[in-house]
Amino acid sequence: MAGIQLKRVSKHYGSAAVISDLNLDIAQGEFLVFLGPSGCGKSTLLRMIAGLEPVTSGDIIIDGRDVTELAPGQRGVAMVFQHYALYPHMSVYDNMAFGMRNIGMAEAEIDSRIQDAARMLELDQLLQRKPGQLSGGQRQRVAIGRSIVKNPSAFLFDEPLSNLDAALRTRTRVELARLHLRLQSTMVFVTHDQVEAMTLATRIVVMNKGRIEQIGSPMDIYRRPATRFVAGFIGQPAMNFLDAERLAPQDGRLCLQLVNGSILQTALMDAAVPAASQLTVGIRAEFITLDAQGSLPGRVDVVERLGDRTLVHVGLADGSSVVAEAHRDSEVRNGEAVTLRIDSARVHVFDAAGIAHHIPV
């Protein structure tokens, strides 16, 4: 197992900076997920760790060794790609054995490693099949098995589930989580899918435009997003944002007025939020409820009945909209006039720079 350190790592393509002066410590045995939209630099960062992309500047340390200038095969890591890249004319067994045979490993050792990996991944009945005889999930497990037999210091996954259908993606995600628990290996995983990140990671690195927006456990990032970008990117549905005007504090607490005139007295101390008249309130759907005594009127645009919960998209008088959560058996209908109640103790406050302000813990 290995820890990985990135020290002031930068990547430029000509004059375009993709990653700038990035520092990150990945603990030994951690399942770390790089999460962010397309083009944020997460795959480039993973490829630099693997040695598939040279760094422009900075150092990459794996298991205490400076590997910045080493070739991929000398870094002691194994990479699993979005595309399986299996040899179609070879059996599962031979696909898994190929790399070990190339370095002259003894056949007895090769067979032992393959049998162990196959049992772990439930591939032992498929070893003589060709890739074309396997499902997508089975092929992805073969690609993972091909990595396991190398006994790497760390596993690097570049969006390995994106080619699978929804049901198979869920099952394979659970298999990956179980694999990490069994191996206790360092795993670094790239995805733009927040569900994958939230369910797999011990820590998430949220990236935006080549820089780190926030690092934390899944629930820390969900409950206490550091920026408006993180708040809007994490969570399904995304966090609601409402413009608000700052009022005189009440009992020292930050007091805000929404565009419809309703007043929110937050749990934040007014003095803890930088001076500004205009702020943005963020509130998740589960803390906006349909309530006849609520202070925020609107009209239902769309109702999403998801079985375990019902989401109600409500248009407001100023033309904006919010998503609220109703009881799963709610009979609310499209076009219906409703009023909403916001749990003021659960609001997030963002300043003009998009920085979040929370109650200290």
190-210 pLDDT, tens digit per residue, is: 999 999 999 999 999 999 999
- What pLDDT score does 111 carry? 94
Whether residues 218 and 250 fall in one domain = no
The pLDDT of 280-297, averaged and rounded, is 92
Name the domain boundary from 233, 249, 276. 233
State the number of CA atoms in the 13 A half-sphere of 262 facing the CB: 20
- What pLDDT score does 84 carry? 75
CA distances from residue 221 to 211, 215, 276, 332 in whole angstroms, order as listed: 16, 8, 25, 32
The pLDDT of 155-163, averaged and rounded, is 87
Chain-centroid distance of CA 29 in Å reads: 18
Whether residues 19 and 128 fall in one domain = yes
CB distance 231 to 356 below 8 Å: yes
Whether residues 167 and 92 fall in one domain = yes
User: Above 70 in pLDDT, residue 212?
Assistant: yes
User: What CATH number should be reported for the domain holding residue 329?
Assistant: 2.40.50.140
The pLDDT of 162-175, averaged and rounded, is 81
Residue 233 tokens read as 């990117």
User: Is residue 163 classed as helix, strand or coil in its secondary structure?
Assistant: coil
Residue 1 pLDDT grade (very low, low, confident, very high; cuts 50, 70, 90)? very low
CA distances from residue 51 to 43, 45, 78 in whole angstroms, order as listed: 12, 10, 11
Taking the C-alpha atoms of residue 266 and residue 322, their distance in angstroms, rounded to an integer, is 19
- What pLDDT score does 361 carry? 63
Give the whole-number percent of the chain exceeding pLDDT 70: 99
Please state the length of the chain: 361
The pLDDT of 80-108, averaged and rounded, is 89
Whether residues 254 and 309 fall in one domain = yes
Taking the C-alpha atoms of residue 1 and residue 89, their distance in angstroms, rounded to an integer, is 33
Q: What is the DSSP string of 222-248?
A: HHS-SBHHHHHHSSSSPPEEEEEEE--
First to last CA, the chain: 33
- What pLDDT score does 2 carry? 63
CB distance 189 to 34 below 8 Å: yes
The pLDDT of 89-117, averaged and rounded, is 92
Whether residues 92 and 162 fall in one domain = yes
- What pLDDT score does 261 carry? 84
User: Is residue 182 classed as helix, strand or coil in its secondary structure?
Assistant: helix
Name the domain boundary from 199, 233, 267. 233
Closest CA to 318 of 297, 293, 292, 301: 297
Whether residues 222 and 87 fall in one domain = yes
The pLDDT of 131-146, averaged and rounded, is 87
Whether residues 37 and 126 fall in one domain = yes
Q: What is the DSSP string of 297-330?
A: EEEEEEEEE-SS-EEEEEEETTS-EEEEEE-TT-
What average pLDDT is seen over the chain? 91
Residue 340 pLDDT grade (very low, low, confident, very high; cuts 50, 70, 90)? very high
Whether residues 254 and 132 fall in one domain = no
The pLDDT tens digits of the residues spanning 59-70 come to 999 999 999 999
Whether residues 214 and 106 fall in one domain = yes
Whether residues 19 and 110 fall in one domain = yes
Q: Provide the domain limits for residue 257.
A: 240-357
User: What CATH number should be reported for the domain holding residue 102?
Assistant: 3.40.50.300
Report pTM. 0.88
The pLDDT tens digits of the residues spanning 295-321 come to 899 999 999 999 889 999 999 988 889
The pLDDT of 28-37, averaged and rounded, is 95
**Is the dihedral angle over the CA atoms 46, 51, 52, 57 positive or is it negative?**
positive
Number of domains into which the chain is organized: 2
